A and B are shown apart, each in its own frame.
Chain A
Amino acid sequence: MSRKLLLVLVVLSVLLLGISVTSAQMEIPRGGTVIVSEGQQAPFQAVFNPYNPNPTRWTRMSMFEPLIVFNPVGGEPNYFLATSYTYGDDLLSLTFTLREGVLWSDGEAFNADDVVFTFNLIQQFPGLDWHGLLAFVDSVTKVDDYTVTFNLSRVYTLAHIILGRFWPLPEHQWSTVADPVTFANETPIATGPLTNVTAVNEQVLEICRNANYWGRDEAGNQLPYIDCMRQPVFLGNDPANLAAVNGEVDWIGNFMPDIDNTFVAADPENHHYFFWPGGGTVQLYVNTTKAPYSDVQFRRALSMAIDYQSVVDIGMYGYTIPANPTGLGPINEGWISQAALDAAASMGLGVFDSAAAAAVLDEAGYVDADGDGWRDQPDGTPIVFPVQVVNGWTDWVTSVQIVVESFQAIGLNASVDTPEFGQWLNNLQTGTFDVSIGWSASGLTPWDFYRAVLDSTLITAEGVANGSTWGRWVSEETDGYLTAFVATADEATQREIMNNMQMAYVTNIPAIPLFPGPTWYEWNDSRFTGFPTEDNYYTQGSPWEETFGARLLVLLRIHCVDDTSCGQG
C-alpha cells in the first residue's frame, strides 16, 4: 500500500468519524414505545378527565399539562402553558402570562379563554376542585388573549405553586359537557406531549404522541422524542418485578426487595435504580390527647429508644436514611435549621440510646410499679400500647416490629397491631389509637409537611383528623406559624418562621420522624436513555409522580438509544 493511499484513507476515516460524531450530537433518535411499570394494579378504564378523583394514569401531567412545573428536585420553575407569573403588590392577585402558539391536540389554539373557562367551570362545579383553588381564589379575569389574573380571596403566597398545577381544559370541547364531574372524557383533547390513546383496556394502556405538541428541543426538533408510552397492568408487585428483572420494561416505579441481587444483577450494565428519599417523612404518630402520650418526656423517651438504623436497613431494605428530628427530608434540605438540630441533639432526640431513653422514663416516674416487668404510669396505671400498622404493608410492618422491639427493650409493654387499611385509617382519623406509623406530606417548602401534621383546622368539629393531623396536636403557636408563613412573600421572614417552627417541632415532639419516604424509581438503559440518574438527577424519576409534574420533565427528555431500539416494542 502506498503511503499516499494510506494518508488518504486516514484522512477519510477521520472525516467519517467526525461526521458520525457530530450527527450523533445533533440528531437524537426519534420513535419507540417506552414500556412503563408503576404499580397499576387494576384494569385500565377510559377516564381522561383530569379533575376526576382517580382518572386513568397519565391523564394528569402528561396528557393534560399544567401552567408551571416546579421541579421537586431544587424547586426551579419549568414553564409549560404559562411563561411567567407575578403577584400583585397587595399579594391579592396573581397574573400568569400564557404561552403563545400552543395548539390543542385537535388543532384549535390554546389561549386565555380556556383558562378562564376552566376556573369558572370549577367554581360552578365544586366537585372539580381537585387543587382546592376555591379556598383562596375569588375569580379570574382575562387581561388579554395570553394574560390572565387570578384574584385571591386572601393572601396566600403559595398560590403560584398550587395554581401552577392547574390544568386548563379546552373550552370548545368542555363547554358542551352537561356534567363535567361525571364526565369520563373518553376521547380527550389536550395540549400535553402524549394525547393519542391507542389502547385502554383490562391489560394495557398505550398513549402516543401529540402531533401538535408545542415543545421543541434546543436544536428545534419537536418533542417528545418517543412515539408512545405503554403500560401493562400487573396485578401485584411480584409479576411486575419478574417482568422488570426479565428486561421487559424500560421505566419503573415499583418497590423491589433486594434490588441489587435481583433487578440489577440480571443486567448490571443497563438496570439501574435510585430511590431519592424525597417523599413525605414516615413518622410514628402518638395520640397526644391521652396519657402517657400527652407527656413530652414520654414522647422524648420513645424517640430515643428507637433503633433507627435497623428500621432503615431491615424494615426499609436500606432504601432510605433515618429522618432528622425536624421531620424535614432531602426535599426541603435548604430549609433545615441548624439551631433546631442542635436543640434536638441536646435532648437526645432521634439517636438510638436505650439506656438514655430508660433514664428519661425513670426520671419522669414511669417505673415498674406492679412488678410485672413492664413500666407503669406515675400513678400506677399500667402502660400497654399496640403500635398500629397497616396489615400487609410489609416494609412498614417490619419497621414497626423493630420499633416495638426497641420499646420492649426499655421496659415498655408495646406490641404490633395490624388492622386492615380501611380500619387503620378509620382508627387514626377518629383517634382510636395510641401509637401508629403513618405518612406525611411533602412539598417545595416545609409548610406542606408541618401543615399536614400540625394544622389544627384540619381536625373537624366531630373530631375527624384530616391530612396527617392524627396525633391531634393543637397549638396556637404552630397554627400561628402556618398562617404567618403564607401571609408573607418575603423569603427572609419565611425562613425565620420556619426556623421557629422547627424549634417548636423538636421541643414538643408532636410526632416521631422515622425516615423520609423513598421514591421508587428504576430504569433500564438498554432501549431508552435520558432518564434521571443518581449523578444527574434533574428531577424525580418515578413514573407515577404527578403531584409536582416531574414525570413531564422526564417524558420530554427520554429517547431511544439508537434506531434499532426505536423499532422494537
Chain B
Amino acid sequence: METSQPVSAPLGVPQPKPTRRVQLPDWMNSILRNRKASVGIIILTFFVLVSLFAGQLTSINPTRRVGRPHEAPSAEHILGTTRDGKDVFSQVVYGGRTTLFVGFLTGTIIIAISIVMGLTAGYMGGWVDEFLSMLTNVFLILPGIPLVIVVAGWLDRPGPATVMIVLGAISWAWGARVLRSQTLTLRNSEFVAAARVVGEPTWRIILFEILPNMVSLVVSSWIGAVQYATLALVTLEFIGLGDVNIVTWGTILFWAQNNQALLTGAWWTFIPPGICIAAIGLSLTLINYGIDEITNPRLQRS
C-alpha cells in the first residue's frame, strides 16, 4: 500500500545546498561511522552472505520432499518441515536469495528509470520537461498494487520476472519527481554553467556533473525503492499472485497460510520468513536513516 511512503524531498521545497563533487570513499566512511547505518549494513550483509553461501549452509534441496509433513524443528531439520515435507531452513535460505535478488534488481530498475526520467526532465526543461512531467504525474496517480495485479494478468506467467517488470514499469514516478526537482536546483549552479561554457555534451553534464551531486538522494531513493519492491513482491506472492512453485519468502508464507500453519501449530513455517522480511526492511530503513543523518548533519546533533 502506498499510504506509508513518507515524503522526503517534494516539489518546491528548497533543498540543502549540495557540496560539490562528493568523493565516494568519504561517503562510505561517513556511512560506516554512523551507528544506525552500520547496524543496517551489518544486518544486510548477513543476509547477503547467507544468500551467497546458501549451498554451503545447507545441503538440502528446498524443493524436494525430505521429511514427514510438518515436522517440528529438530537437529535434522533446524526449522522443521513444511506441510509437504520440505525443509524450512533450506527454503528460508534459498528463498532469501531469490527475494533479495528480485527486490534489489527491481529497486534498481525503478531507480534507473527514475534517474533517466527525472534528470532529463529537470535538465532539458521546455517541452521535454512538460511532456515527461506529464507522464510522471499520470503514472503517479495510477494505483500501484491494483495495477500490478491487473498487469500481472497480461503476462504469460506470474512470477518474479513478471513482478520485476511490472513494478519497474509503474513505480518510477515518485523517484523521478524527486530527482527532477533536485536537478532543477542544480541546473542553475555555477559548476554546471561552467561545464556548459566549456562545451561539454548534455549527457556528460547530466551524468558527470549533476548525478554525482545527487548521490545521497539517489542512494536513499534507491534504498526506498528496494524496500518498496521487496514488500510488494512478498505481498503479491502472499496473496497468490506470484509463482507458487518457486521458493521465496513470499511463497513460503503463501504455502504456510494455505496450510493454516498457525492453526495447526506449525509456527516454524510462518514466523521465520516474516522475521527475515522484517529484518531486511529494518536494515534498509536504518541505512536510509543513516544517510539522512550524514547528508543533513542537523539530524544527528542532539
Query: Which residues of A does B touch, CB under 8 Å?
Result: 237-238, 241-242, 245, 256-258, 261-262, 314-315, 391-392, 394, 397-398, 401-402, 405, 416-420, 422-423
Contact = CB atoms under 8 A, between A and B. Distances in A.
B69 A423 contact: no
A262 B70 CA distance: 14
Interface stretch (B138-146, B196-204, B227-235, B257-265): B257-265
Contact of B260 (A241, A416, A422): A241
A408 to B, nearest CB: 11
Most-contacted residue by chain B among A238, A241, A418 (CB, 10 A): A418
Contacts of B152: 420
B255 interface: yes
Given A241-B263, A257-B83, A419 B156 contact: yes
Interface in B54-75: 63-65, 69-70
Nearest to B265: A261
Nearest to A395: B258
Contacts of A423: 153, 156-157
Q: By CB atoms of chain A within 10 A, which of B65, B153, B258 has the most?
A: B258
Contact of B85 (A237, A241, A314, A392): A314
A257 B158 contact: no
B245 A419 contact: no
Contacts of A314: 65, 69, 84-85
B156 A257 contact: no
Nearest to B68: A314
Contacts of A394: 244, 255, 258-259
Contacts of A401: 63, 84, 245
Contacts of A261: 264-265
B240 interface: yes
Contacts of A392: 240-241, 244, 254
Given A257-B260, A391-B243, A419 B255 contact: no
A418 B245 CA distance: 7
Interface string B141-178: 00000000000110011100000000000000000000
A278 B265 CA distance: 31
B240 A257 contact: no
A238 B245 contact: no
B153 A420 contact: yes
Given A242-B263, A262-B263, A418 B244 contact: yes
Interface of B: 63-65, 69-70, 83-85, 152-153, 156-158, 240-241, 243-245, 254-255, 257-260, 263-265
B240 to A, nearest CB: 4
Nearest to B153: A420
Q: Closest 9 CB pairs between A and B?
A: A392-B240, A394-B258, A257-B259, A416-B245, A258-B264, A418-B245, A262-B263, A257-B260, A314-B84
A436 B158 CA distance: 17
Contacts of A315: 84
Contact of A257 (B63, B244, B254, B264): B264
A245 B262 CA distance: 13
Given A418-B157, A422-B153, A258 B244 contact: no
Contacts of B64: 405
Contacts of B69: 314
Contacts of A418: 157-158, 243-245
A402 B153 CA distance: 26
Contacts of B255: 394
A420 B239 CA distance: 13
Nearest to A318: B69
A422 B257 CA distance: 23
11 contacts: A237-B258, A242-B263, A257-B264, A258-B263, A391-B157, A402-B65, A417-B157, A417-B245, A420-B153, A420-B158, A420-B241
A416 B244 CA distance: 10
Contact of A397 (B85, B241, B245, B265): B245
Classify the interface of chain A: helix, strand, loop or mixed.
helix
Contacts of A398: 84
Contacts of A262: 260, 263-264
A263 to B, nearest CB: 9
Given A261-B264, A392-B244, A419 B157 contact: yes
Among B153, B243, B245, B254, max chain A CB count under 10 A is at B245
A392 B257 CA distance: 12
A236 B158 CA distance: 20
Given A391-B240, A392-B244, A417-B157, A238 B257 contact: yes
Contacts of A257: 83, 258-260, 264
B159 to A, nearest CB: 8
A398 B244 CA distance: 10
Contacts of A256: 260
Given A262-B260, A391-B157, 8 more contacts: A241-B260, A258-B263, A262-B264, A314-B85, A391-B240, A397-B244, A417-B245, A423-B153
A245 B263 contact: yes
A179 to B, nearest CB: 31
A265 to B, nearest CB: 9
B165 to A, nearest CB: 15
Contacts of A245: 263
Contacts of A242: 263
A398 B178 CA distance: 45
Contacts of B258: 237, 257, 394
A398 B82 CA distance: 12
Contacts of A416: 245
Nearest to A416: B245
B270 to A, nearest CB: 12
A390 to B, nearest CB: 10
A476 to B, nearest CB: 36
A18 to B, nearest CB: 46
B247 to A, nearest CB: 12
Nearest to A419: B157
In this complex, the member of A242, A314, A398, A417 whose beta carbon has the largest number of chain B beta carbons within 10 angstroms is A398
A405 B61 CA distance: 13
A246 to B, nearest CB: 10
Nearest to A237: B258
A245 B83 CA distance: 19
A506 B187 CA distance: 77
A314 B158 CA distance: 24
Nearest to A261: B264
A394 B255 CA distance: 8
Contacts of B257: 238
B96 to A, nearest CB: 21
A254 B134 CA distance: 49
Contacts of B243: 391, 418
A394 B84 CA distance: 11
A394 B152 CA distance: 19
A251 B272 CA distance: 35
A423 B254 CA distance: 21
A419 B84 CA distance: 21
- Among A258, A315, A401, A416, the one with the most B-chain Cβ atoms within 10 Å of its Cβ is A258
A315 B260 CA distance: 15
A423 to B, nearest CB: 7
A254 to B, nearest CB: 11
A565 to B, nearest CB: 26
A402 B244 CA distance: 15
A391 to B, nearest CB: 6
Nearest to A398: B84
Contacts of A258: 70, 83, 259-260, 263-264
A417 B158 CA distance: 10
B60 to A, nearest CB: 15
B254 to A, nearest CB: 8
Contacts of A237: 258
